[in-house]
Amino acid sequence: MKTFIKGHTVEYDDDAKGGVRYLTYLIDAEEAKVFFNQAFSRGSASFEDQMGYDYKLSLNGSEYRLERVKH
C-alpha cells in the first residue's frame, strides 16, 4: 500500500500500519521530519512507536518504505 505522510510518499505493508499511524497522527511534523531527513541522508531511520513496536523507514528511489522490525 502507499500513503502520503508529511509531504512524502510512503509504501508499507499491513504489519506497518501502526508506524503509519504514528508518523501521521501521533507525533508532530517536526519530529517526523527528523526521521525522513535521516532516512534521506543515511538510507534509513529506525524508530519505536508508543506501543513499543520498532519500525524502519528507508529511502527507496524517490519514495520511502516503512517496515515493522520483528525481533
pLDDT digits (tens, 9 = 90+) for 9-34: 999 999 999 999 999 999 999 999 99
> How many domains does one find in the chain?
1
Q: Which amino acid is at 5?
A: I
Residue written as cell 507525533? 27
Helix (H, G, I), strand (E, B) or coil at 65: strand
Distance CA 51, CA 40 (A): 25
Domain span holding position 8: 2-69
Q: Which amino acid is at 23?
A: L
Rg (CA), the chain: 11
Considering the entire predicted model, what is its pTM?
Answer: 0.95
Task: Quote the pLDDT of residue 71.
Answer: 80
Detail the DSSP E strand segments found in the chain. 2-5, 8-12, 44-48, 54-60, 63-69
